[in-house]
Amino acid sequence: MIELILGGARSGKSRFAEQRALDSGSECIYIATAQAGDGEMAARIQLHREQRSGFAQTIEEPLALAQIIADAMHDSRCLLVDCLTLWLTNLLLAENAATFADERAQLFDVLSRARGRIIFVSNEVGQGVVPMDALSRRFVDDSGRLHQAIAQIADRVFFVTAGLPQLLKGAVQ
């Protein structure tokens, strides 16, 4: 079971995803992709750590997402990945430009044999203006393509606005 939960910044998508994971009745593992590039981000990460008390385990991995999912997935587990856009940012800023393509291919390979439940959270960034700089345009393009590809294989896709989830694909459960 693969779910994709999209929404804008502060839309309530992470809270919705966390509740879905906890309501699954499975052992829940939280996979966080954020990196603390500055003091404000470090504070955000710390706050998120404190808010995850209901999860059996948190794994923080900014780059090797496919490997973490492969190692952690199990029929009786629910993996919550928060978030794909931070993971993409980390990869686009990596020293090796081919890192994203390699990691993306590995992720889809792992998802082709997914077990248990995997919930992805990601920011929908393609509803605004076209960014001025090349890296920002690449980020918007790559995130849009990533979302489309995951939505194609996902059993359920939600879009969250103002804390209200809208089911885009799949049956309500």
Q: Any catalytic annotation for residue 48?
A: yes
State how far the Cα of 23 lies from the Cα of 80, in Å rounded to an integer. Answer: 12
- CB count, 10 Å around CB of 55? 18
**Catalytic annotation, pick one of 1, 22, 48, 70:** 48
Please, are residues 44 and 73 in contact by the beta-carbon 8 Å criterion? no
Dihedral in degrees, nearest 10, Cα atoms 31, 95, 133, 144: -40
Please, are residues 12 and 164 in contact by the beta-carbon 8 Å criterion? yes
The one-letter code for the residue type at 86 is L
Exposure of 119 by Cβ count < 10 A (0-12 exposed, 13-18 middle, 19+ buried)?
buried
Active site residues: 48
